[in-house]
Structure 1
Amino acid sequence: MPLPQRSISAPAAAREQREMWWHRATGYQIYPRSFADSNGDGVGDIPGIISRLGHLADLGIGFIWLSPVYASPMVDNGYDIADYRAIAPEYGTLEDMDRLIAEARERGIGIVMDLVVNHSSSLHDWFRAARASREAPEHDYYIWRDAAPDGGPPDDQQAAFGGPAWSWVEEVAQYYFHYFSPAQPDLNWANPALRTEIYDMMRWWLDRGIAGFRMDVISLIGKDVDARVYEEGPTLHDHLQEMHREVLAGRDIVTIGESWSVSPETGLLYCGRDRRELDMVFEFSHIREGWDPERGKFAPRPFDLRGFKRELFAWQDLTRHDGWTSLFLSNHDLPRQVSFYADDGPYRREAAKMLATVLHLLKGTPFVYQGEEIGMTNAAFERIDQYRDLETLNHFEAQIAAGVPLEEFIAGARRNSRDNSRTPMQWSPGPHAGFTTGTPWIEVNANASEINVEQDSAQPDGILAHYRKLVALRRERDIVAFGETESFLANSPSVMAYQRRLGAQRLVVLGNFTGQEQDVELPEDIAAGAGVCLIASHDKRGELPRQLRLAPYESFAVLTS
């Protein structure tokens, strides 16, 4: 059933494919553990989400990407699933989940579930059976190898979260493979019986009324472990095409695949309209621009706007006439965007608006991560005992053992740890930011008394109001939803600039990524004597002269013809 949203027909030349409801929608990611706690146990839950649906409806959100709420031992905060058809007790019940789906739909909001099927929890019934006997059918649901001649692991492959990628099970005298932690054994997608189980589960959730799936690390399901090919392995697209045939085809839903390896060279294999796989992908090339290529995310390097623009606009070029892309700067795995890309100090409000403007007015489906709409910042934790993230803690042990100074690691974690985005949602200036009446599972950001929904929503020119306008522009303006993107000022280290074209209309977007004034000379074919300012972080601009001066973190979009 399609979501009850207003549909506006874009010109056929701009669409080149059937318009879907999600082409005009803005997604909102909820990390349930940190969003809203209804019962005072310090952990967010589904009734808490239901109590805050008015906030999302007011923002104009079209669908919620809900991070996992399935039954789980929570080794990786729910990305280790023990039962795909049950809800974690700390989050609520299946009845609560059905109520969330129904009440969100009444507000025109779909629920997109997180599909985590590269691996399960080691406490899943499948793995319990698999580790008990080699004769159990479920044994082949996972990836097993015999020990090396010396009794050790079959090889020296390492897990993404640190340590060996193989763990020993005495009962079957074999090692199992886990790309992430030992609590997350990888599923063996080569087994057709496993795939049937997964497809049945997906249909079960879709029949309950969800609006689609965000597919966690889906690019890993075609891996060849023996060849050490993990991302985009030889059977990936066969599996995705089978999934589409068996589950997704004919349903009015949205599917988003997460891939840390996808590139403009492989992007349309996932989301080309004739591929019959997914609707769009989360790609991370623009995110990786800020990481040290050798040491990864915990050794961040200075932000380079030119490289960032190069990667973003490569995807705009790729999806000009085919496919679709997602637009995001932050999520539950990434730092707060205003802290990483801009200024979380004196210019926080201006910087938050600028980042939103330049991202949301690109072609694609934008995603807002909870708290982004009020300019929430990194946690600025100073001690390792303040962190809860499995990845951060594992890398801490490995890097300290390798001789990395404690201060250096903490500095990297303050910039890039996943816990930066997982501190509780800041609803009010009251105790624990209005997130809970109990003790929160992770510390509330110390700046919650100044940065919260209650105070920002009271400001007519606040960050929340700015986001509300951007969401409405995508929903109401054909040029925002379907216009072609052309970048300019590509070599500027300070300014992001592009135009969107649709028929005779042109939307020119500029954003200053610095805390200093920037003098800009517009190309002759971009400058215009008169136009309509659709949105601005500072004063509205009614024209585009050849020479203009941008204030610190200023951004705007002017519509001309």
Structure 2
Amino acid sequence: MTLAHEDAPWWQRGTIYQIYPRSFADANGDGVGDLAGIEAHLDHVTSLGVDAIWLSPIFPSPMADFGYDVADYCDVSPLFGDLAAFDRLIAAVHARGLKLLLDFVPNHSSDQHPWFQASRSSRDDPKRDWYIWRDPAPDGGPPNNWISDFGGSSWEYDDHTGQYYLHAFLKEQPDLNWRNPDLRAAMTDVLRFWFDRGVDGFRIDVLWHIVKADGLPDNPPNPVWHAGITERDRLIQLHSTDQPEAHDIAAEFRALADDYGARVLVGEIFLPNDRLARWHGTPERPEVHLPFNFALIETPWQADTLARSIDDYERSIPPHGWPNWVIGSHDAPRIAARVGEAQARVAAMLLLTVRGTPTLYQGDEIGIGPVTIPPDRIRDPQHFRQPTLNIGRDQSRTPMAWDDSAYAGFSSGEPWLPLHDDWRTRNVAAQARDAGSMLSLYRDLVALRRATPALSLGDYAPAVADTDVLAFERTYGNDRLLVALNLSTSPRRLILPAGTTIAAVMHSTLPPRTPDGTLAPDEGMILRLMPA
């Protein structure tokens, strides 16, 4: 049943904006973004019309994986500021009517975290079991065949204690043992620390990894693996991810969040729809509010394929669940780099009109596309682990361009990664002056979504469409909308549902024009319908 607009929680009605702190804005001139830089540019976030900011990790870290190797869960890295700077930022965010979500990294810590240093010091240390240690296999090798997501064995041998420790990612990121009640309590206290500081929720990193199968059996081989895909996929992660006990932990996280009121938990979970849907939990025992849905990143950009993907996902959502969508992140190639500038405009319309909470990624609102990164400027450890696959994430993490001044107004010093090649014209200041820009399109679409309950909370139904056109209806009460997206570079027919005519063109990805029964190349339209 469709909720009344005023009764729906903010995270259903709203839009989330992801900030990658290293690359948003640098206030101190060291070339790396920081909290003060974010605070100084909050007016931009407000102008987008979004409801919440999600910050990628800001905690103390050796930066082996750029903050996803946490050395202290209850502090701020000096690179970004300090707790006082965080308190100023969250106060400024709340003063603008926005929410703030932090990135919680529960699967692993840094190998420089005091917990791991103690765990590594002795087999008898009280924190030994806070991580996952095992004796070598009979041949002296790793305890099982598990493969790191970054390639190579998931096990690292420790000479000092004569055992291996588990790491699903880099060896500098040892996995925490969530079967240990003391570790579990300590990490729950981390959530309380930030909730007490006013945080409105968390995006939970690699949540489906958090518990491993008891006994750590070998993973089975993947029968369709070939050399063109990642080494990780040589095996099916049957025993190393998505274990039943992980749902108990997610339910505990949710219960804690609910104790604090209007909080939200977003779970990073890469799984097929049927298994992803389980992370909603049950009405009696809910889990995360939004199990992240990566379909628009993973699905080929073809109308029929996308339509099936959206429909399959919609069917998988339980009645008590709520959908969500994302087209870009710090881990994925940018949408404009994947589909080109014209279709990136269509993608923006899709993201902001399909049913569910949308998450925007910084830089997509100005259409940053491919970025030239010289070999000596590459920073991502994933690139260096499997360089032939070209899976480095640096191109999605390059700095924001604010204006055409030195270093695009991002910093007074050279940025840690190169800017996109066309930053002098592709920047926030230039696009803010252009009513036809990508930035203006995003602002208009977010505003339209906010003002139109059919787009934010309405029901979804697929619609009949011409070849290469993705079309669907959104309805709320008597308001009936048709979204029609031409994913081709040729004109296509605009097919209206039987018995309807166009009451109004609410928006188009192209300059306004009188409807003529067609969709122009690369055109998306939002139409209000009425009976014919």
Q: TM-score, normalised by structure 2?
A: 0.91
Q: Distance in 2 between matches of 1:365 and 1:529?
A: 29
Task: Tell me if the contact between 1:145 and 1:176 (Cα under 8 Å) persists in the aligned partners.
Answer: yes
2:310 aligned partner: 312
Q: Distance in 1 between matches of 2:280 and 2:176?
A: 21
In the superposition, relative to structure 1, how do residues 247 and 460 fare at CA in structure 2: closer, same or farther (>3 Å)? closer
Does 1:375 find its partner at 2:367? yes
Moved over 6 A (4+): none
1:550 aligned partner: 519
Letter paired with 1:538: L
Q: Distance in 2 between matches of 1:262 and 1:283?
A: 10
2:350 aligned partner: 358
> Which consecutive unaligned segments of at least 5 residues does structure 1 have?
1-11, 291-302, 400-408
Q: Please point out which of 459, 473, 478 is paired with 1:484.
A: 459
1:228-267 correspondence to structure 2 within 5 Å: 228=219, 229-267=239-277
Letter paired with 2:253: M
Q: Percent identity?
A: 37
1:281 aligned partner: 291
Letter paired with 2:306: F
Q: Distance in 2 between matches of 1:129 and 1:360?
A: 47
1:294 aligned partner: none
| Range moving further from structure 2, 214-223 or 468-477 | 468-477
1:391 aligned partner: 382
Q: Distance in 2 between matches of 1:264 and 1:238?
A: 18
1:334-345 correspondence to structure 2 within 5 Å: 334-340=332-338, 342-343=339-340
In the superposition, relative to structure 1, how do residues 273 and 471 fare at CA in structure 2: closer, same or farther (>3 Å)? farther
Task: Tell me if the contact between 2:17 and 2:50 (Cα under 8 Å) persists in the aligned partners.
Answer: yes
Deviations 1:440-468 (A, max 9, x none): 11111111112110100001232222211
Q: Distance in 2 between matches of 1:13 and 1:24?
A: 12
Give the drift of 1:503: 2.2
Deviations 1:229-287 (A, max 9, x none): 12211211111112223454352111100101141354144255443211111122443
In the superposition, relative to structure 1, how do residues 63 and 240 fare at CA in structure 2: closer, same or farther (>3 Å)? same
1:531 aligned partner: 503
Aligned residues: 509
Task: Tell me if the contact between 2:279 and 2:288 (Cα under 8 Å) persists in the aligned partners.
Answer: no
In the superposition, relative to structure 1, how do residues 231 and 284 fare at CA in structure 2: closer, same or farther (>3 Å)? farther
Task: Tell me if the contact between 2:20 and 2:56 (Cα under 8 Å) persists in the aligned partners.
Answer: yes
Q: Distance in 1 between matches of 2:69 and 2:24?
A: 20
Q: Please point out which of 187, 194, 199 is paired with 1:205.
A: 194
1:450 aligned partner: 425
Q: Distance in 1 between matches of 2:512 and 2:488?
A: 19
Q: Distance in 1 between matches of 2:284 and 2:297?
A: 28
1:131 aligned partner: 120
Q: Please point out which of 67, 75, 86 is paired with 1:97.
A: 86
Task: Tell me if the contact between 2:13 and 2:357 (Cα under 8 Å) persists in the aligned partners.
Answer: yes
2:471 aligned partner: 497
Letter paired with 2:363: G
| Range moving further from structure 2, 80-89 or 529-538 | 529-538
Task: Tell me if the contact between 1:118 and 1:218 (Cα under 8 Å) persists in the aligned partners.
Answer: yes
Task: Tell me if the contact between 1:82 and 1:125 (Cα under 8 Å) persists in the aligned partners.
Answer: yes
Letter paired with 1:473: L
Q: Distance in 2 between matches of 1:205 and 1:226?
A: 36
1:113 aligned partner: 102
Q: Please point out which of 168, 176, 181 is paired with 1:192.
A: 181
Q: Distance in 1 between matches of 2:497 and 2:256?
A: 50
Q: Distance in 2 between matches of 1:387 and 1:310?
A: 37
| Range moving further from structure 2, 265-274 or 308-317 | 265-274
| Range moving further from structure 2, 356-365 or 304-313 | 304-313
Task: Tell me if the contact between 1:507 and 1:557 (Cα under 8 Å) persists in the aligned partners.
Answer: yes
1:434 aligned partner: 409
Task: Tell me if the contact between 2:279 and 2:291 (Cα under 8 Å) persists in the aligned partners.
Answer: no
Letter paired with 2:310: L
- Matched position secondary structure for 1:65: strand
2:435 aligned partner: 460
Does 1:214 find its partner at 2:203? yes
Q: Distance in 1 between matches of 2:317 and 2:512?
A: 31
Give the drift of 1:123: 0.5
Task: Tell me if the contact between 1:262 and 1:283 (Cα under 8 Å) persists in the aligned partners.
Answer: no
| Range moving further from structure 2, 245-254 or 162-171 | 245-254
Give the drift of 1:14: 4.1
In the superposition, relative to structure 1, how do residues 289 and 356 fare at CA in structure 2: closer, same or farther (>3 Å)? closer
In the superposition, relative to structure 1, how do residues 379 and 145 fare at CA in structure 2: closer, same or farther (>3 Å)? same
> Which consecutive unaligned segments of at least 5 residues does structure 2 have?
220-238
Task: Tell me if the contact between 1:214 and 1:256 (Cα under 8 Å) persists in the aligned partners.
Answer: yes
- Matched position secondary structure for 1:237: helix
Q: Distance in 2 between matches of 1:58 and 1:315?
A: 31
In the superposition, relative to structure 1, how do residues 272 and 310 fare at CA in structure 2: closer, same or farther (>3 Å)? farther
CA RMSD of aligned residues (A): 2.1
1:180 aligned partner: 169
Task: Tell me if the contact between 2:167 and 2:173 (Cα under 8 Å) persists in the aligned partners.
Answer: yes
Give the drift of 1:17: 11
Task: Tell me if the contact between 2:52 and 2:99 (Cα under 8 Å) persists in the aligned partners.
Answer: yes
Give the drift of 1:542: 6.6
Q: TM-score, normalised by structure 1?
A: 0.86
Task: Tell me if the contact between 1:498 and 1:509 (Cα under 8 Å) persists in the aligned partners.
Answer: yes
In the superposition, relative to structure 1, how do residues 283 and 372 fare at CA in structure 2: closer, same or farther (>3 Å)? same
